[in-house]
Structure 1
Amino acid sequence: MPKMGESISEATIISWLKNVGDFVEAEETLLEVATDKVDSDVPSPVSGVITEIRFQKDDVVEVGTVLALIDESQKSKVISQKSENSSIENKSVSPNAVEVPQPKTDNRKLTTNPNAFISPLIISIAQKENLSIEELQTIPGSGTDGRLQKSDVFNYLKNRKYPLKSIPQPTTHNLQSTTFPKPKINFVEGKDRIVEMDRMRKMIADHMVYSKQTSPHVTSYIEVDVTNLVNWRNENKEKFQEKHNEKLTFTPVFVQAVAKAIVDFPMINVSVDEKNIIVHNDVNIGMATALPSGNLIVPVVKNANEKDLVALAKDVNSLAEASRNNKLKPEQIQGSTFTISNVGTFGSLMGTPIINQPEVAILALGIIKKRPEVITTEKGDEIAIRSMMYLSLSFDHRVVDGFLGGSFLRKVGDYLEQFDSNTTI
């Protein structure tokens, strides 16, 4: 397993593109692996014949571990043998001799065993695969005294047909006292369709559920007047593009304001390790970004507090471009200490974002809208057209109380409202 980034210590195998006995060229893609949400190809270091594959799909492998063995000396022999076997098969096998397997059906009578022992491992698998307790109890166990094994569940899932109409409806006497019955899903064959989650969506789902179960979420809101910022950007975006060959969006300004506020309130830039609070020295801002597939990824602006607006714009644009083209590197989505989510991009007024673990807070920025506001001038109160925006901060109430969360949020708002219109580009 090759090294894929400074902080990457392991990767998950997605799929092998070659099998044992196959010939592979040097630099030809051998397998696909994943680190977090980034997929990478692993090329073969040499040309030869694969004699052994030591890990399979979904295995998590540490960097530096041998994945497979390749014999460089037998490639010509195997290629010749494959050619001969192919010729023999073409002569001996006719289309009429091919047996087409019939699809399996689930018309069999399913019975439940309410007294079956279900281990914590089986329960965790069931939660990931969206299996109810009632459905688990219908699976025959191959272990001692009919005990349900992990292999039994996986074999069942391979042949599972949804929905299983013959499973009895949930009843309270069949359930453990701490288990809420899985709600019934109405499925109409011929009208409704099933879309299996891809690997990234499964990871997002698990991460979101984990975050809500781990951190008691509290969300605070403020409204900010960003008229000066909007006017400054409108006046300078073309000049910025010409001078730096970079687009000037609002995102680098948001990142800069958050980084400054984190310096003022460093206890928002922490992680929780059981009873300990880890205070991060680096200020690494994650940007929640929607991919063309609809999935979500969080590329990271590293050391945002040490960069000026031009450097932040370059980082933001580069990461956004890499996200759109699925070219993010593993290290570019690692190490965030705080995350922002610009829900205004989709026209949302405000949001209640879920914390990106293991962080303790996340900021959502709503759409910027013009509307009449009462402002105080030298002449007194007046009504003026202003550009207004809502900010919402979700924070982990285990370690961030209302005073810290509210003060930090207000400080971000102050930096945006007091943006210096004389800022040079």
Structure 2
Amino acid sequence: MSKIELKMPKMGESISEATVLNWLKNEGDTVEQDETVLEVATDKVDSEVPSPCDGVIAKILVEPNTVVNIGDVIAIIEANGEAGAKKTAQKEVAATPSPEKKETNSTTTKKTERYSAADYKALSAGENDGFLSPLILNIAKKENLSIEEVLSINGSGEGGRIRKSDVVSYLKNRQYPLPSRPVQQVSAPKSNYKAPPISFVEGKDRIVEMDRMRQMIADHMVYSKHTSPHVTSYIEVDVTNIVEWRNRVKKEFQQKYNQKLTFTPIFVEAVAKAIQAYPMINVAVDDNKIVVRKDINIGMATALPSGNLIVPVVKNADEKNLLGLAKQVNHLAENARNNSLKPEEIKGSSFTISNVGTFGSLMGTPIINQPEVAILALGIIKKRPEVITMDKGDEIAIRSMMYLSLSFDHRVVDGFLGGSFLRKVGDELEAFDSNREI
């Protein structure tokens, strides 16, 4: 048998590393070509890595929860027959890095070369098992954190383990000069608050472990609330013209373009126009600096079949017409439902919308998708009697109404900007041309 190296595959242009989540095969197990061998994850997307050939898992080189560079060898497979080995070699030619790249991406240990063997021993000797993941060590190296300083961070993970969000929060509030204290003196401060006890009734209640994505969502939401002082503003919008136009043309739109016409591309179009009018809503905060985004990339908060949440991104929304937006929205929604979103399809958002009306909610108070500074929630569209002003005076008419709510980061977005932007979105929706051609 020929020995084939199973390497961490490339998962997007900006992705340089991934975490091994779970091996689905053990050493000695037989695998077929394209059969899933393990599950890996980047910041938000879980992916499956298939076997490049038929054969047997000879050696697993990487343990679960280890961060690995793209292109690193993670397992050895003994391929069945020369034909399988040749076919695998042909498939890997295009993906094989040049010798220069191999030198810079050779092993994951280079990422933590600042720490010696003695340092690792010290890291494993602290409280709460002292466990620091390779990702945490990598961040520590890049930020030039000492071991003492890393271990001084209060961990919010299980058993007090340090998570990425803990390090990010610490770096944001880092105090100078830095305290100098030996490792053995590092201890987490005790809180006077006692969490209320949770009762468990055997035979009635059940415990469900959070999956990795749910843990990441929880960390991201808590981090956002700790980072940004949230303020939420509301307006009510008359979307009668939009509802009547869509009901009239959606069948023709489907037949002509083979695309569903939902409300989402119309909402994205209105938000993109409002961002053009108020570009300071399309920013991120970097310490004391404001990064103003040129590209208008609209994220769509989307529920996955598992119940988790993900945010696929409509890139350059301001450069697309309604048909282009509809195609992109439908494509992203379909990939989300099939759990087949690519890493590049969930990165780079500069503003996010969340259609809480899909679930029947009248309105919502969404949490900002960091590092953005605002998020728009769209409530359910409901018909109700409204007083409208006509040429001959006020009248009561049945109108399709919807609430919009904007949560914004009060560090950089004040009430004037937040309220003006929100009103602009509403004006764009209310001014929709009911005679618009498709």
TM-score (norm 2): 0.73
Match of 1:393 among 381, 403, 406: 406
Aligned-partner Cα distance in 2 for 1:285–1:24: 41
Identical residues among aligned pairs (%) = 71
Is the aligned partner of 1:38 residue 2:21? no
Out of 318, 325, 349, the position equivalent to 1:305 is: 318
Query: Deviation string for 1:278-301 (max 9, x for gaps)?
Result: 111111111111112211111111
- Alignment of 1:422 with 2:429, yes or no, is no
1:66 aligns with 2:73: yes
- Displacement of 1:131 in angstroms is 6.9
SS at match of 2:306: coil
- Pairwise CA distance, 1:380: 1.2
Greater mean alpha carbon deviation, residues 119-128 or residues 296-305:
119-128
Candidates 365, 381, 390, aligned match of 1:368: 381
Please report how far the alpha carbon of residue 122 of structure 1 lies from its aligned counterpart in structure 2 after TM superposition. 7.8
Q: More displaced, 357-366 or 120-129?
A: 120-129
Post-superposition offset of 1:399: 1.2
8 Å contact 1:16–1:31 — kept in the other structure? Answer: yes
1:64 shift after superposition: 2.8
Aligned to 2:21: 14
The answer for the alignment partner of 1:240 in structure 2 is 253
Q: Does residue 127 of structure 1 match 2:156?
A: yes
Aligned to 2:102: none
Does 404-413 or 118-127 show the bigger shift? 118-127
Equivalences for residues 18-167 of structure 1 within 5 A: 18-22=25-29, 24=31, 26-45=33-52, 50=57, 52-70=59-77, 127-129=156-158
Aligned residue among 335, 344, 359 for 2:348: 335
Equivalent in 413, 418, 423 of residue 426 of structure 2: 413
Q: Distance in 2 between matches of 1:178 and 1:267?
A: 39
Q: Is the 8 A contact 1:228 1:421 kept in 2?
A: yes
Alpha-carbon distance between aligned partners in 2 of 1:198 and 1:64, rounded to the nearest angstrom: 26
Counterparts of 1:195-234 in structure 2, within 5 Å, are: 195-234=208-247
Q: Structure 2 CA distance, aligned partners of 1:37 and 1:213? A: 20
Q: 2:143 aligns to what?
A: none
Give the 3-state SS of the residue equivalent to 2:157 in structure 1: helix
Q: Which moved more, 1:39-48 or 1:177-186?
A: 39-48
Identify the residue that residue 99 of structure 2 maps to in structure 1: none
Offset at residue 366 of structure 1 (A): 0.3
Whether contact under 8 Å (1:117, 1:148) holds in the other structure is no
**RMSD of aligned alpha carbons:** 2.9
Whichever residue aligns with residue 17 of structure 1, its letter is: L
CA distance in 2, matches of 1:293, 1:372: 38
Instruction: Give the C-alpha shift of residue 55 in structure 1.
Output: 2.3
The residue that corresponds to 1:159 in the other structure is none
Pick aligned residue for 2:262 from 244, 249, 256: 249
Contact 2:274–2:421, Cα closer than 8 Å, also in 1: yes
The number of aligned residues is 348
* Structure 1 residues 200-250: Cα deviation after superposition (integer angstroms, max 9, x where no partner): 111111111111111111101011111111111111111111111111110
Deviation of 1:40 after TM superposition, in Å, equals 1.5
Structure 1 counterpart of 2:97? none
Under a length normalisation based on structure 1, what TM-score does the superposition of the two structures give?
0.75
Aligned residue type for 2:234: Y
Per-residue CA distance 1:356-387 (angstroms, 9 max, x = gap)? 11111110000111111111111011111111
Aligned pairs for 1:178-189 (under 5 A) are 178-189=191-202
Quote the Cα distance in structure 2 between the aligned partners of 1:299 and 1:232.
27
Letter in 2 for 1:40: S
Contact 1:11/1:63, CA 8 A, preserved across alignment = yes
Q: CA deviation at 1:72?
A: 5.9
Distance 1:130 1:235 in 2: 58
Q: 2:371 aligns with which of 358, 373, 377?
A: 358
1:327 is displaced (CA, Å) by: 1.6
**What letter matches 1:61 in structure 2?**
V
Structure-2 change in CA distance of 1:325 and 1:48 (3 Å): closer
| 1:295-318 Cα distance to aligned partner (Å, 9 max, x none) | 111111111110000011111111
TM-fit CA distance, 1:26: 4.9
**8 Å contact 2:54–2:80 — kept in the other structure?**
no
What residue in structure 1 maps to residue 332 of structure 2?
319
- Tell me the secondary structure at the aligned position of residue 73 of structure 2: coil
* Residues in 2 aligned to 1:185 and 1:215: alpha-carbon distance in whole angstroms: 30
- What displacement does 1:117 show? 6.8
2:21 and 2:38 in contact (8 A); partners too: yes
**Residues 360, 56 of structure 1: alpha-carbon distance in 2 compared, 3 angstrom cutoff:** same
Task: Please name the residue that 2:291 is paired with.
Answer: 278
Task: Give the distance between the partners of 1:199 and 1:117, measured in 2 at CA.
Answer: 24
- What secondary structure, in the 3-state scheme, does the structure 2 residue paired with 1:67 have? strand
Structure 1: tracts of 5 or more residues without a match: 76-115, 133-146, 150-174
Q: Report the CA distance between 1:39 and its aligned residue.
A: 2.0
Change (3 A) 1:184 1:130: farther
Instruction: Tell me which structure has the larger Cα radius of gyration.
Output: 1
SS at match of 1:127: coil
Retained in 2: the 8 A contact 1:12–1:35? yes
Counterparts of 1:212 and 1:409 in 2: how far apart (Å)? 21
Alignment partner, residue 10 of structure 2: 3
Separation in 1 of the partners of 2:384 and 2:23? 56
